[in-house]
C-alpha cells in the first residue's frame, strides 16, 4: 500500500459536507459500514461515508456504472455484511476505492447518477459491519500493561514474556455489538479483601477499555503463516473498539488462564471501518528502545521499522445519567495515541498466525487498551482512578471510581497531520444498565 491520488489533500467532492475542514469523512477517507434507514424494515446493506451522507452501494451497483474489479467488488456489497468484500483482497478494495474517489470528486461525470444513491447520515441506523467469526484481544500498550500490573501484581507488574511476545487471548464474538449498544451490569464471582471466600453478585468495578479494532480481510490457509511484510494485505480496516471490563471479576478469575466472565458480556465497535489504505499518510516509524529485547526474526523487518506504526489520536468521554438529564455535554476523561503501541498491527498478525492459525474474513483483533506514558493518557478508568483509590471528580461535581449504572461512554478517533487530509473514525458509544437480579 502506497500513497496515491486518492490521498491528495487537494481533492474536493461535489458532496459539499465532505469538504468541511473537521469532517470525519472527507473524500480521502471513504470508510465502509452496514446500514439501513432508521425506523423501517429495510434490509441492512453496505454503504460508504462521504461527508454527512451515506452512499448506498447496493443502489449504486444496480446502476451498472462500473466494470472490472470495481463491478465485482460492488457485487460483493449486495449483502448485509462486509465479509464477501473483505474476502476479495486488496486489489478489489483498491479498485473500488479508486473509482468511488473519482466518481465523488468535484466535476465528476457520474454525479447526477450517484446523487440519487445518497442518504443523509442522520437518517440511518447501523448493524455490525461483519459477521465476526473469531475475536482475539491483544495487550499492546506497555504503559497499560505496567499500570495494571502494578495494581494486580505489585511485586511483578510486567511479566518477562511481555517484551518478547504480542500477548493476546481469544474472546467471545457473540456479545460484540455496534455503537449504541446497551448492556446490563454483569454478575459473577468476586473476592475482595479482607474476605477469604468469594461471593456472587453484580460487578462493582465496571470499566471501559479504549482500543482500536482491526478487521481481517483476506484470510490465510490453515497451516500457513502470514509474513510480517504481507500483513497489510490481510487487514481490511480499523475501527474504534470498547472492550468493557468487570475489574473485580477479572481480579478473581484471571489467573491462571486470563480473562473470562470479566470480558465476555459486551464489547462495542464503531460502525465505520476505515480502510488501511486510507490511513497510509499516517504510517509512522516503529522503534524498540535499545535497552529492551529486540523482536525475534519473524516479528522484525525493515518495512515494519519504517512504517509499521500509526498516528491515530484517541479520546474517551463520559456522559452520566445526571449529565444527560441536565443536557450537559459529555466530559473528556483522557486522550492518547495509537503510536504508543508496543507492538504493531503487522506484528500482531504475524504472531497470531506463526503457528499456522487460520484467520478468516471478518475476524476481529482488539489492540488492547491504549494508554500513553502520561497519567492523563490512560485508556481505562482502572488507571485513571488508581484502582478506585483516587476517584475522578467530574466538572458537575459527580465522582467516579468506576462506571455507574446509566453512564454512557463515548470514544472518538482521528488522524491529522500537516500535508494530509484529516481522517476520522466517527465514534463508538455504549451505555451501562443495571444488573438483572
Q: Active-site residues: which are they?
A: 144
User: Strand, helix or coil at 219?
Assistant: coil
DSSP conformation letters of 69-89: HHHHHHHGGGSSSSHHHHHH-
Classify residue 339 by its DSSP letter: G
Q: Which residue is listed with cell 470525519?
A: 24
Q: How far apart are CA 112 and CA 384, in angstroms?
A: 51
Rounded Cα distance between 9 and 14, Å, is 15
| Coil/strand/helix, residue 145 | helix
Where do the DSSP E strands lie in 339-379? 364-366
The span from the CA of 272 to the CA of 237, in Å, is: 9
Taking each helix axis as running N to C, give the angle between helix 90-104 and helix 68-75, from 0 to 180 degrees, rounded to the nearest 10. 100
Q: How many angstroms from the chain centroid is the CA of residue 306?
A: 23
d(CA 378, CA 385): 10
What burial class does residue 249 get, using C-beta atoms within 10 Å of its C-beta: 0-12 exposed, 13-18 middle, 19+ buried?
buried
Collapsing DSSP to helix, strand or coil, 433 comes out as strand
Alpha-carbon gap, residue 226 to 347, rounded angstroms: 10
> Which three three-digit cell numbers place residue 7?
490521498
Return the C-alpha cell found at 208. Answer: 471501559
Amino acid at each position: 500500500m502506497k500513497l496515491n491520488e486518492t490521498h491528495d489533500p487537494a481533492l474536493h467532492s461535489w458532496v459539499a459536507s465532505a469538504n468541511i475542514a473537521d469532517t470525519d469523512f472527507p473524500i480521502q477517507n471513504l470508510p465502509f459500514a452496514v446500514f439501513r434507514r432508521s425506523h423501517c424494515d429495510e434490509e441492512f446493506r453496505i454503504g460508504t461515508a462521504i461527508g454527512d451522507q451515506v452512499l448506498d452501494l447496493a443502489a449504486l451497483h444496480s446502476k451498472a456504472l462500473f466494470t472490472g474489479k470495481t463491478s465485482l467488488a460492488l457485487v460483493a456489497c449486495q449483502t448485509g455484511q462486509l465479509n464477501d468484500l473483505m474476502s476479495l483482497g486488496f486489489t478489489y478494495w483498491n479498485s473500488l476505492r479508486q473509482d468511488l474517489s473519482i466518481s465523488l470528486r468535484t466535476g465528476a461525470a457520474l454525479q447526477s447518477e450517484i446523487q440519487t444513491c445518497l442518504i443523509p447520515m442522520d437518517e440511518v441506523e447501523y448493524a455490525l459491519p461483519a459477521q465476526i467469526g473469531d475475536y482475539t484481544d491483544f495487550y499492546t500498550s506497555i504503559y497499560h500493561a505496567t499500570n495494571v500490573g502494578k495494581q494486580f501484581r505489585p511485586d511483578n507488574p510486567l511479566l518477562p514474556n511481555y517484551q518478547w511476545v504480542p500477548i493476546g487471548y481469544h474472546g467471545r464474538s457473540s456479545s460484540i455489538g455496534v455503537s449504541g449498544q446497551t448492556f446490563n451490569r454483569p454478575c459473577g464471582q468476586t473476592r475482595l479483601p479482607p474476605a477469604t471466600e468469594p461471593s456472587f453478585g453484580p460487578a462493582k468495578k465496571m470499566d471501559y477499555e479504549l482500543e482500536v479494532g482491526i478487521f481481517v480481510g483476506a484470510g490465510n490457509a490453515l497451516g500457513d503463516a502470514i509474513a510480517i511484510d504481507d500483513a497489510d494485505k490481510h487487514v481490511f480496516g480499523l475501527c474504534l473498539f470498547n472492550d468493557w471490563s468487570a475489574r473485580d471479576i477479572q481480579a478473581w478469575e484471571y489467573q491462571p488462564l486470563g480473562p473470562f466472565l470479566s470480558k465476555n458480556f459486551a464489547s462495542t465497535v464503531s460502525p465505520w471501518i476505515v480502510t488501511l489504505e486510507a490511513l497510509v499518510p499516517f504510517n509512522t516509524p516503529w522503534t524498540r528502545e535499545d535497552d529492551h529485547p529486540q523482536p525475534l526474526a519473524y516479528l522484525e523487518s525493515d518495512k515494519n521499522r519504517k512504517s509499521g506504526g500509526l498516528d491515530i489520536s484517541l479520546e474517551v468521554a463520559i456522559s452520566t445519567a445526571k449529565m444527560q438529564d441536565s443536557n450537559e455535554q459529555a466530559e473528556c476523561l483522557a486522550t492518547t495515541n495509537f503510536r504508543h503501541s508496543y507492538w504493531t498491527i503487522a506484528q500482531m498478525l504475524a504472531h497470531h498466525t506463526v503457528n499456522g492459525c487460520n484467520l478468516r474474513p471478518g475476524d476481529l483483533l482488539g489492540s488492547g487498551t491504549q494508554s500513553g506514558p502520561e497519567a492523563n493518557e490512560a485508556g481505562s478508568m482502572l488507571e485513571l482512578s488508581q484502582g478506585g483509590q483516587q476517584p475522578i471528580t467530574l466538572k458537575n461535581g459527580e465522582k467516579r471510581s468506576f462506571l455507574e449504572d446509566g453512564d454512557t461512554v463515548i470514544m472518538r478517533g482521528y488522524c491529522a497531520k500537516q500535508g494530509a487530509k484529516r481522517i476520522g473514525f466517527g465514534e463508538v458509544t455504549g451505555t451501562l444498565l443495571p444488573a438483572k437480579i
